[in-house]
Amino acid sequence: MPSTKNRITPEQRIYFHSELRQCPHCGTKLKRHHTAWHKYVNTLSGIYDVWNMAYACPNSECPYPGSYYRSAEADALVMKHTSYGFDVLALVGELRFKHHYTLSELHEELNRRGVVTSERNCERLYERYLTLLRASVTDHLRENLKEVVREHGGLLLSMDGIQPEKGNETLYVVREGFSGSILAAQNLKSGSAEELKQLLRPVEALGFPIIGLLSDGQHSIRLAMSGLWPEVPYQYCQYHYLKDIAKPVVELDRKLKTGIKKNLRGIRELEKQVQADPSEEATLAKDYLAAVRSVLLEDGNPPLDLPGVRVFEEAEAIRNSLKRSAKKGGSPTARNS
Ligand SMILES: [Zn+2]
């Protein structure tokens, strides 16, 4: 769980590099050029000393020698002009907007989670959240993007989803990489590729050339982006920051799995009971017991595929199946379950 003590000093220094390795215009390997920005970022999983390194094309013949490529993943971590992570912002929005927390409750909750802040700042964060949700392709933004296209030969699009609390909505944000502009932001429950495509439609409607697509590893984001721009090269963000954010969830999941396994241990006794029984009911019971055994071996692939959740779902499927057969007149195990 997140620590309750206030944190001031960063836990880790992270260097982010351009996700693009080659120049999108001439294919030359990009070279590290300068530090685009550097700051301490307050996130729900701690404070990080974040460095975003800009890269440039070293080819003197390149049509766009003045273009710098930053890390989209680093830009997606923190809002411009603040030191708070987007995960903090998303949490503030969710608690205030959906759960109607007062500013003082918000302040208390953030501090409880180790995010050092003031009530006044909670208010500011909430205002930023509301501004973020209003992001759209306005006439003004269209003019700015036109300028980006003229200067860099096209737009660099990135998209990512931030889920401050497991099981709740995910805040999806679409950005343009050269300008750092936010083109769209929306809370979505499912975040299917179709829904995400809708979020990208206004960007597609601009008709500007897109020279790169970037995102974290989420499958539906990739489907949505590659679906709209199948010809544009697609890059994953390299530093799997998500893994750090997901740590508390993985920890809880491990406990869930251990608990369920303990509850399922009783099957050894049942196995002994039905072992020598040749009846149809006993055969059925043996099948169920085998299914339970295989559930105990599940280990998933955290953090995206959580083993505890998986064991839970499968144990539940077996239980429902047992209930159904109990109704039909059922087996000895059904009565025991
Ligand atoms: Zn180049």
Q: Which residues on neighbouring strands pair with residue 158, listed in sequence order?
A: 175, 214
Distance 255 CA to ligand 1 centre (A): 51
Distance 33 CA to ligand 1 centre (A): 14
Distance 63 CA to ligand 1 centre (A): 7
Residue ending a domain, among 210, 227, 242, is: 242
For residue 122, tell me if it sits in a domain. yes
Distance 61 CA to ligand 1 centre (A): 7
Distance 53 CA to ligand 1 centre (A): 18
Residue ranges, the chain, pLDDT below 70: 1-9, 238-257, 261, 263-265, 295-314, 326-337
Domain limits for position 104:
72-242
Same domain for 131 and 280: no
What is the tens place of the pLDDT at every residue in 247-301?
555 566 666 667 776 766 677 777 777 778 888 878 777 777 777 777 666 655 5
For residue 266, tell me if it sits in a domain. yes
Same domain for 251 and 238: no
What contacts 177, CB < 8 A, 6 or more positions away? 69, 70, 72, 75, 155, 156, 157, 158, 212, 214
Question: What's the pLDDT at 270?
Answer: 76
Distance 66 CA to ligand 1 centre (A): 9
Amino acid identity at 189: K
The structural domain count of the chain equals 2
Same domain for 297 and 180: no
Same domain for 210 and 129: yes
Neighbours of ion ligand 1 (CB under 5 A): 23, 25-26, 28, 57, 59, 62
Q: 89: domain CATH number?
A: 3.30.420
For residue 126, tell me if it sits in a domain. yes
Question: What's the pLDDT at 307?
Answer: 61
pTM of the model: 0.69
Same domain for 112 and 82: yes
Whole-number Å distance between alpha carbons of 124 and 118: 10
What is the tens place of the pLDDT at every residue in 191-223?
899 999 999 999 999 999 999 999 877 889 999
Distance 147 CA to ligand 1 centre (A): 19
